[in-house]
């Protein structure tokens, strides 16, 4: 299969590229800055272009079978008006131009499936309520971004393209993402729960995310939103204790007060202080078998 990935050079995209290449697929990675193909696995190549604007890159998607849309500027930054605009545009405008590119492709060469990214931030803050794909969108900044991001991807259904919006939980992996930011503190024995610590932490192991993408490719009946999270959700305190245990460290005896995080990080602290209790209902119903449904086993696999 020929796969075209936007944002394929990042943490999730690199892992997916490895997995897809190992399964014998040809992968084209759209990147804004020209990069050497020599670091890529066999069968993978970079295509240079900026998905924030229309351009020749749009012609490169014709002839691929599958599009995976991961592009997006990091949300781990101070949410100034300028950075919020970048977070929005790098997801919504890029997806808009990607779907325009699908429209421009000759029908016989048009990719038939779009697996687009979204995030469990779609739901906003619901406390302890269990959230399924049926739960409506929230109304905070990330929820509004996710709703519009999915809306742009869904436009491709009008072209006869199958669209799945993968609502990622927090991806745990060895080469980046949230864990790489948390581990240094824990290694110094400074890991402690954030705020009251009862907020939910919807996580997914990177190997399961790759497994879910393969499963979705092989399950053409699945369309629309899909919660990509482990079935056993934990709280921030559970995560803190599991990480400390895995590293052989003690949990720092004081929670980090919410007001400190709010002063240091501003509005972005809401990512750490609020969480979603998300259930992977569609994947469970479709029979996806998680490799890592237990957090301790997942951390053991990643850290060791």
Ligand X SMILES: NC(=O)c1ccc[n+]([C@@H]2O[C@H](COP(=O)([O-])OP(=O)(O)OC[C@H]3O[C@@H](n4cnc5c(N)ncnc54)[C@H](OP(=O)(O)O)[C@@H]3O)[C@@H](O)[C@H]2O)c1
Under the rule (CB under 6 A), what is the footprint of ligand X?
A: 7, 9-13, 31-32, 51-52, 70-74, 86, 90, 94, 117, 119, 168, 170-171, 176-178
Taking the least distance from each CB to ligand X, the nearer of 82 and 260 is 82
Taking the least distance from each CB to ligand X, the nearer of 86 and 144 is 86
Phi/psi for 255 (5° steps) reads -65, 150
115 has which bridge partners? 68, 164
User: 164: helix, coil or strand?
Assistant: strand
Minimal distance, residue 169 CB to ligand X, in Å: 7
Minimal distance, residue 8 CB to ligand X, in Å: 6
Q: Put residue 171 in one of left, alpha, beta given phi > 0 → left and psi -120 to 50 → alpha.
A: beta
Minimal distance, residue 201 CB to ligand X, in Å: 11
Minimal distance, residue 9 CB to ligand X, in Å: 4
Minimal distance, residue 254 CB to ligand X, in Å: 26
The answer to whether the CB of 48 falls within 8 A of the CB of 33 is: yes
Taking the least distance from each CB to ligand X, the nearer of 204 and 250 is 204
Burial category of 97 from C-beta neighbours within 10 Å (exposed 0-12, middle 13-18, buried 19 and up)? buried
Taking the least distance from each CB to ligand X, the nearer of 113 and 117 is 117
Taking the least distance from each CB to ligand X, the nearer of 153 and 170 is 170
What does the alpha-carbon distance between residue 183 and residue 189 come to, in Å, rounded to a whole number? 10
Closest residue to ligand X, judged by C-beta, is 10
Minimal distance, residue 26 CB to ligand X, in Å: 18
Alpha carbon 252 to its chain's center: 29
Taking the least distance from each CB to ligand X, the nearer of 252 and 303 is 303
The answer to whether the CB of 30 falls within 8 A of the CB of 57 is: yes
User: 80: helix, coil or strand?
Assistant: coil
Q: Give the torsion through C-alpha atoms of 145, 97, 217, 33, to 10 deg.
A: -90
């Amino acid at each position: 299969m020929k796969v075209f990935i936007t944002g394929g050079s990042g943490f999730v995209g690199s892992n997916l590229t490895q997995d897809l290449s190992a399964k014998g697929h040809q992968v084209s990675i759209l990147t804004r800055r020209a990069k050497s193909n020599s670091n890529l696995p066999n069968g993978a190549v970079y295509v240079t272009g900026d998905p924030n604007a229309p351009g020749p890159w749009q012609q490169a998607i014709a002839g691929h079978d599958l599009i995976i849309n991961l592009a997006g500027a990091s949300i781990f930054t101070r949410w100034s008006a300028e950075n919020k605009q970048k977070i929005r545009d790098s997801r919504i405008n890029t997806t808009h131009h990607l779907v325009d590119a699908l429209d421009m492709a000759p029908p016989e060469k048009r990719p038939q499936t779009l697996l687009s990214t979204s995030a469990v931030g779609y739901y906003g803050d619901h406390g302890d309520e269990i959230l399924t794909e049926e739960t409506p969108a929230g109304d905070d900044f990330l929820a509004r971004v996710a709703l519009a991001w999915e809306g742009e991807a869904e436009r491709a259904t009008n072209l006869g393209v199958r669209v799945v919006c993968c609502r990622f939980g927090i991806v745990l992996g060895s080469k980046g993402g949230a864990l790489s930011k948390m581990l240094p503190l824990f290694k110094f024995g400074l890991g402690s729960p954030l705020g009251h610590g009862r907020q939910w932490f919807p996580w997914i192991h990177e190997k399961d995310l790759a497994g879910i993408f393969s499963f979705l490719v092989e399950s053409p009946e699945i369309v629309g939103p899909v919660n990509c999270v482990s079935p056993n959700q934990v709280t921030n305190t559970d995560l803190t204790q599991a990480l400390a245990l895995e590293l052989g460290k003690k949990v720092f005896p004081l929670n980090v007060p919410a007001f400190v995080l709010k002063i240091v990080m501003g509005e972005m602290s809401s990512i750490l202080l609020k969480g979603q209790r998300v259930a992977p209902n569609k994947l469970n119903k479709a029979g996806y078998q998680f490799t890592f449904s237990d957090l301790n086993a997942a951390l053991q696999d990643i850290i060791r």
